[in-house]
Amino acid sequence: VLSGCGVYDGTEIHEASAILVHLSRGGAEVQMYAPDVPQMHVIDHSKGQPAEAESRNVLVESARIARGKIASLAKLTTADHDAVIFPGGFGAAKNLSTFAVDGKDCKVNREVERVLKDFHKAGKPIGLCCISPVLAAKVLSGAEVTVGHEEEEGGKWPYAGTAGAIKELGGKHCVKEALFSLTASYEAHVDTKNKVVTTPAFMCETELHNIFDGIGAMVKNVLKLTGK
């Protein structure tokens, strides 16, 4: 499920690409979706500033990542899929929810909420990375998720405050590493009860290959939970 195209106002492109590569390697068939709604705003990524008087549609922008093969999120049903995965990027906090503005008092897009609840009720796994675990924390009360560490640690975890917000949303935060051993193994947290799998990704200031491998751990566990 995508939220636009570009880290500051949509889907984090590297995360989406990594997910797709790992799903392909795992032999999964993939269909991409996005809500057919306006973006909260448009960011000029060369300046990191809002582009005034410009508007874009989340579905239309997400189609860039999907190479045109995308459908409205309203068409996503549990009957047709074994699992659902949400990449991160500020779009998850701006377009799929209002978390970027409202924090613990945020609202979740109604189709996103429906999808999360439907997959949870069906006992089908849900994967989320980077900032997107806040969606599960808000919608699935008591869900265990990770966004990495709970302290900034000199800038290594610049968004560590999100962990506190997750607790305020009703979720349980579990501290995980981006890199946890010299053998370059990466952590994803698996909430086996709720079948929710999360990994920090770009919540950590680390090398791109670390993020790629961490997303791989998330995808691998999601596929494992499908039982296929």
- Name the catalytic one among 5, 106, 129, 130: 130
**Spatial separation of the C-alpha atoms in residues 216 and 214, rounded to whole Å:** 5
CA-CA distance, 223 to 23, in Å (whole number)? Answer: 8
Taking CB atoms within 8 Å and a gap of at least 24, the contacts of 113-117 are 113/139, 115/1, 115/73, 115/76, 115/84, 116/84, 116/140
| Calpha distance 50→29 (Å, rounded) | 36
Reading the block at residue 162, the tokens are 């999100």
Decide if 174 is catalytic: no
Segments in 35-180 forming alpha helices (H): 58-65, 91-94, 99-102, 110-121, 133-139, 161-169
Q: Which residues are catalytic?
A: 130
